[in-house]
């Protein structure tokens, strides 16, 4: 299994992602079409009761939740295994995780709660409180920081490999 994933893991993940995206889009588009909605429908103008009746997006949400649970479970299993196999290197991972949590908490405490206009309608439609809004904002900013860091690391590694 390890050799297969080493050789074909990226391709397998990519293909799984494509299958999930196609299944979600097929479910959502066919569900919206059969309910009489077209591509110009603005979901923000619908009432909460109409949105709660829609179940066209459930497949995408369920698949996302399944993948999230599977990824967390697999990560935890391998973390526990790695703790016993490589105890010295585990400290680096723990420090990185703690730094990530600290960054998230700082971003959560500094997030602003936007109001007015479409924000009020969005908050009322989906019952988003100030705490939920700051949690979402912190998650988005943390993800962007991680993406930027990963991009810089990839560029740095490629430059380093170019001169080797």
Residue-averaged pLDDT of the chain: 86
Beta-carbon neighbour count of residue 139 at 10 Å? 14
Give me the count of residues in the chain: 164
- pLDDT at residue 39 in the model: 65
Q: What pLDDT sits at residue 90?
A: 82
Candidates 129, 138, 16; CA nearest to 67 is 16
Count Cα neighbours of 31 within 13 Å in the Cβ-side half-sphere.
15
In the chain, the percentage of residues whose pLDDT exceeds 70 is: 93
The pTM score is 0.55
For the chain, the first-to-last Cα distance in angstroms comes to 32
* Sign, CA torsion 66/67/68/74: positive
In this structure, what token pair is assigned to residue 134? 């700051």
Query: Hey, which of 86-95, 96-105, 109-118 has the most confident mean pLDDT?
Result: 96-105
Question: Tens digits of per-residue pLDDT, 103-126?
Answer: 999 999 998 887 777 778 778 777
Domain residue ranges in the chain: 1-85, 87-164
Contact 5, 12 (CB under 8 A): yes
CA atoms within 13 A on the CB side of 132: 7
CB 111 within 8 A of CB 137: yes
Based on DSSP, count helices (H) and strands (E) in the chain, helices before strands: 6, 0
43 or 129, greater pLDDT = 129
Average pLDDT over residues 147-162: 95
């Amino acid at each position: 299994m390890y050799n297969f994933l080493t050789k074909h893991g990226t391709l397998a993940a990519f293909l799984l992602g494509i299958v999930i995206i196609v299944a979600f889009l097929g479910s959502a588009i066919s569900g919206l079409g059969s309910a009489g909605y077209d591509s110009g429908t603005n979901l923000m103008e619908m009432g909460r009761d109409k949105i709660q009746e829609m179940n066209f997006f459930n497949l995408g949400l369920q698949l996302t939740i399944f993948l999230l649970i599977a990824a967390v479970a697999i990560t935890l299993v391998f973390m526990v295994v790695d703790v016993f196999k490589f105890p010295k290197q585990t400290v680096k991972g723990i420090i990185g995780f703690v730094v990530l949590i600290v960054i998230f908490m700082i971003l959560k405490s500094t997030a602003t709660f936007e109001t007015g206009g479409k924000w009020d309608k969005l908050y009322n439609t989906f019952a988003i409180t100030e705490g939920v809004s700051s949690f979402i904002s912190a998650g988005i900013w943390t993800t962007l920081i991680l993406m930027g860091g990963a991009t810089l690391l990839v560029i740095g590694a490629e430059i380093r490999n170019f001169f080797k």
